[in-house]
Every structure is written in structure tokens, then in C-alpha cells.
Amino acid sequence: MKFPYGICDFEKIITNGYFYVDRTDKISLIEETGEYPLFLRPRRFGKSLVLSMLENYYDVAKAKQFERLFGHLAIGKNPTPKHNQYFVMNWDFSAVDSSGSAEDIRQRLNNHINGCIEHFTVRYRDFLEYDIQLYPTDAIRSLQSLLAALQSTSYKLYLLIDEYDNFANEVMMAGKSNSRDRYETLIQGEGALKALFKAVKTGTKGLGIDRIFITGVSPVVMSDISSGFNIAEDISLQAEFNDLCGFHESEITESLLQITKKCNLSSEKRLEALTVMKIFYDGYCFSYETNDLVYNPTLTLYFMKTFQRTCQYPHKILDSNLAMDKGKITYISQLPHGKKIIINALNDNHPVVISELSDNFGIHEMLTGTKDTPFMASLLYYFGVLTFGGYTLNGELILRIPNLVMRKLYLELLQELLLPEWTIKDKAMRIVQQFYQTGDLQPLCQFMVETYFKVFSNRDYNWTNELTIKTAFLTLLFNDTFYIMDSETEVGRRYTDLTMIVRFDMRRYQLLDFLIEFKYVKFKEIGLSAEQVKQLSDDELEASEIVKDKLTESESQLKSYRQTLQSRYGNQLRLHCYSVVAVGYERLITRKYNEFGDST
């Protein structure tokens, strides 16, 4: 099979026999939903392919190719009357360099629009009676000339706009005042971007623009230009478009079957591969109205292409093209209380909860306004690092991390915040590598107390609990190259604190499996100050009632979890179990269970 990783050209995918999950049945739904839809999804989620699909379907110049491109697909068997009935023009704002002055950006925007109009002129020259004039410094005037030329034809324009919010995303990630000033110049008053959208709106008033489809990541720009372009209808949360981008599990199982046959692998290996993909790539939901989950399409294609070529899973589960999404989490972490919401997002037992998703904020609010939990959580949703996870009993919206690759981005960011110095980070990684092979947790605990916990300020005690201790360990231990690992793993309808199971394809190495339970004791619970806790020996701390109770509780949980994991994985499991009791940030009491009833 041929997997179209990085390819968003619909015609190329269809004519060259690439793997394609049919979404053409959504075309009629898009027609019915309105003339000017706005469709938001995280980056690298297949939005450009949707635009290419629409372009090929509606383009009058491709009428003779309709059967070849769509005849075997859902829409080809039941086409709408509008197919191949439009001139189509595609603007891609990600192609416009956003660096330099506002005037530089304005001219590049002019150049891009003029280039698209020039391409339009060549494509439809056989349909046009009048020439389209290009104005190098005034793309709006060029657009008006194009619309005037359309008046002598029987066709209207379908305008496709990709990455409409690219400028705002660049400004937000830069976080610099001069970047903000450039962007505000583009969208305030008669700024170039706002004026362009205003001209597009004017073009819909009987001047030739009949339909528009806009894609982006967030509604930021739409909020900023709403006074000039208030006709867009956001369809992003509608249930029927939840899977417009993304794959269902049933849609990739046949491909995995073919790959495992080609590689002479067993059906068990196919199920293993599906399990790995589900854990790392599934879990996205983009609608309040459905519980259906979809896989990240870019990561899915990356995995299957590598799996077919090598007959092994990718060494790096996270495609480097999506690793840059960590910058979005970094932006949130730098806001007041941002680090706290990042840590809270990692706790599946107490996920991020908001009353509703924010959709009416512009760049000014993003850079200078009050950043409360709904604001920050909504941005994390739009960036694709949180997704819908249902409702609370009170009807509030739950947002959760969709899968392990997104969780990795959170943990890598926290590690960078907590261990900015390379030498200390290198020391930590050597200790962790030793732990993977020996199971000796004590050097890691010593490092945590002596180095890692020092970066927490005193005010962090106000919201420290088992979660923060667990998260600190997780930032160092997380390794998706060797392990399928997660916090809050469901085992027998209960949830472990941290489970690290060696990846199926990595069991040939001398790596151990781990199960760790964390407990936290506040100073007021033990009746001692931080300084007094430091002076006690491990035996003296373990003798305190509160620590003994925590260890007993942890041992009971571990015993139950271990039995379930042993029955699930069988003899291949090399499981080591640990209790870790933190007393403030000053001390860690650990206990390793070789066999229950035999601890060290």
C-alpha cells in the first residue's frame, strides 16, 4: 500500500492509488450547513486535504474528471447538483511569511492573493471573456477585477481559505510586543487582513462569491475581524463533522491486516500494533454531541508507512512534525497559573473542567487579557493538546489529554521548566536509564529530593499533592521509545498511579516493567516542620502512624494491581512494584515489593 504521509493533494492521492479514507459523504452535509462555514482543527489534522477534496469536486474545469476522481467514492454514487459548477480559488495563508514589518506582511499578502488570481486566470482562461487585471500593490483591486470578469460567465466563485489564522498563531507563539503590534496593524481599522476579509464579504453580495470554506486552528482571527466579516458559521463542533478529519479504528484495521500479511507477522502482532496506535494516537473528540473518537491522521499514516517499510513500529512514536506543538503548551505554561493547569491536565482522576468552550477572544485578550482556566483550557483544546471528554454530573465540560503522544508534550515541557540546565538533565537521564535496567529506585529518589524538588517555590506547597509528586517522577521516567506508560492506568476498574509496561517490540532488551504508587503527607499531618522532617532517619519517619498508614494503603493497592497485570500480560511481564511516600518536598520514603509480604 501507498500511504500519503504529508500529501494533501486529493487528485494525486486518488489517481496514484494512495490509501484514502472516504470523507466525500460529508460534501452534501457541508452544502446543507450553509454558504460560509468555518472549520477549526489542530494543525496537521488533514484540513488541507478537505479543501483539496472540495476543490476537485466543485471545479468546473475538472468536470470531465469527475467519474475518475469520485465515481468509486460515496459522493460519486450520489452527487449533488452543484458538482463541477464553480470557479474555485484557494488561498493558503500559511504560505505568507509573517516576519518583518506590517508593511512587509501586507505586501506579501498582496503577492499571495495576486499569485492565486494569476493561477486562477490560467486555469479558467477558456471560460473567461474579459481579462483580469492584477494590481501588484492592491490585491483587493485585483479581486474586484476577477469578480467583474465573472459577471460575463454563468459561473460563481467558490473561495477556499486555508490556515486563515496563521498570522495570529505566529504572533502568539512569538509573544513579543512588536509582533503583536504588527498583527494589530493588520486587523485594526482598514488593516490589510481585515480589509481583505471585508472585500470578500462584499463579494458575496451578488458580485460573484457564492460559497466560502475557511479552515484554521482557532477562532482568534474571526474574533478580531468580526466587524468586517461577520458571516462565517463555525461548524467545528457539529457532530456530523467530528470525523471530517481523522480516522476511526475500523478504517485502519484492514491496512494493518495487509501490512502484517506482507511482513509475515501473526494476528497477535496485528492486534499489538493496533493497541499501540490506539494508546498513542486515538482519543480525539471535537463535538459536545458525540462520544465517537478519532485517530490523529498524520501520526496514523506515519506509523503505518514506517510499519510497512520496516515491519517494525517506528522507533520514535511521536512524529517530529508534531513535536513543535509543544510550543503551544509552552505559551500556556508562561501565563499566570499556567503551570498549574498544565499539571492538573495530567490528572485523569480530576481532569480540567469548564462550563463551556471559549470562542470569542482575539489576540489582545490572548496577550494582555485575564487568563482564567476556561480561557487557557479552551486554547489547549484548539491546539489539539486537550479534547472533549464528556460531562461532569453537574453538566460541566470535561477536557482531557487525548493520548500518550500529547501527554509526552506536556511532560517534556515540564521537564524543561524544572531542569533547564543541560548538565543536571544529563545526570537525571543517566539515573533513569539505570533504573530501567536495575529497578533500583533509590538513586532517582535521592536526585528528586536533592535537586529536582528544589525548583519548587514555597508557594507551590499550597497546591502540592500526590499528583504533583507523581508528575515530577513522570517527567523524568516517561519514555515512549521503550515503554507504554501512563498515569491513571485502568486496572480492574481502579486506577494505578504509574504503570510502565515495556513496548511489545522492545521486550528483546533487558528492560523491566514497573508499577509505582505515590502517597503524599503534609507537614501538618505529621505534626512536624520541614526542618524537623529533614533531621529524621528513614526508620523514624516510617514509624510515624501517618506514613505507616500510607505504606499499608499503597501495598494493598499494588497487590491488587499486580495480580491483574500478571493475568493480562502473563510470563513476559518483569514487574517491579514500589510505594513512594513523599513528606512535603523534603523526604521520600520508598518500599520495593519483590513478592508481597517480602518488601525492601
pLDDT in tens, the chain (600 residues): 999 999 999 999 999 999 999 999 999 999 999 999 999 999 899 999 999 999 999 999 999 999 999 999 999 999 999 999 999 999 999 999 888 888 888 899 999 999 999 999 999 999 999 999 999 999 999 999 999 999 999 999 999 999 998 877 776 666 555 667 777 788 877 788 899 999 999 999 999 999 999 999 988 888 888 778 899 999 999 999 999 999 999 999 999 999 999 999 999 889 999 999 999 999 999 999 999 999 999 999 999 999 999 999 998 888 877 766 777 788 788 877 788 888 888 877 778 999 999 877 766 666 665 678 888 899 899 999 999 999 999 999 999 999 988 988 888 888 888 788 888 889 999 999 999 999 999 999 999 998 888 765 444 545 567 778 888 898 899 998 899 886 555 555 456 788 999 998 898 888 999 999 999 999 899 999 989 999 999 999 999 999 999 999 999 999 988 988 888 888 888 999 999 999 988 999 999 987 655 556
- CB count in 10 Å sphere of residue 365: 16
Say if 381 falls within a structural domain.
Answer: yes
| Residue type for position 464 | T
pLDDT value at residue 459: 44
| Residue type for position 525 | E
Please report the DSSP string for 14-51 in residue order. HHTTB-----TTHHHHHHHH-SSEEEE--TTSSHHHHH
- CB count in 10 Å sphere of residue 137: 11
Question: DSSP character for 206?
Answer: T
pLDDT value at residue 82: 97
pLDDT value at residue 487: 58
Element (H, E) at 490: strand 490-491
- Is the same domain home to 593 and 555? yes
Residue appearing with cell numbers 505559551: 331
pLDDT value at residue 324: 64
- Is the same domain home to 302 and 411? no
C-alpha cell at 393: 454530573
Query: What CATH number has the domain bearing residue 200?
Result: 3.40.50.300
Element (H, E) at 60: none
- Is the same domain home to 255 and 388? no
pLDDT value at residue 458: 45
- 192 neighbors 331 (Cβ within 8 angstroms): no
CB within 8 Å of 289: residues ≥ 6 apart? 237, 238, 239
Element (H, E) at 583: strand 575-583
Say if 404 falls within a structural domain.
Answer: yes
State how far the Cα of 487 lies from the Cα of 468, in Å rounded to an integer: 12
- Is the same domain home to 399 and 534? no
- Is the same domain home to 40 and 181? yes
Say if 228 falls within a structural domain.
Answer: yes
State how far the Cα of 341 lies from the Cα of 281, in Å rounded to an integer: 23
- Is the same domain home to 462 and 526? yes
State how far the Cα of 201 lies from the Cα of 448, in Å rounded to an integer: 58
- Is the same domain home to 89 and 237? yes
Which structural domain, as residue segments, surrounds residue 388?
325-418
- Is the same domain home to 505 and 383? no
Say if 428 falls within a structural domain.
Answer: no
pLDDT value at residue 8: 96
Say if 423 falls within a structural domain.
Answer: no
Say if 4 falls within a structural domain.
Answer: no
**Domain's final residue, options 175, 207, 241:** 241
- Is the same domain home to 384 and 439? no
SS3 sequence of 510-545: CCCEEEEEEEEECHHHHCCCHHHHHHCCHHHHHHCH
State how far the Cα of 355 lies from the Cα of 471, in Å rounded to an integer: 26
Please report the DSSP string for 120-173 in residue order. HHHHTTTT-SSPPPP-TT-HHHHHHHHHHHHTTSS-EEEEEEESTTHHHHHHHH
> How many structural domains compose the chain?
4
Q: How far is CA 54 from the centre of its chain?
A: 25
- Is the same domain home to 516 and 560? yes
pLDDT value at residue 102: 82
Element (H, E) at 506: none
Say if 2 falls within a structural domain.
Answer: no
State how far the Cα of 455 lies from the Cα of 555, in Å rounded to an integer: 30
pLDDT value at residue 177: 58
**Beta-ladder partners of 355:** none
pTM value is 0.89
Burial letters for 11-37: b for 16+ Cβ neighbours within 10 Å, e otherwise?
A: bebbeeebbebebbebbeebbebeebb
The stretches of 419-460 forming alpha helices (DSSP H) are: 422-438, 442-450
- Is the same domain home to 133 and 255? no
Say if 289 falls within a structural domain.
Answer: no
- Is the same domain home to 445 and 331? no
pLDDT value at residue 183: 76
C-alpha cell at 458: 514555597
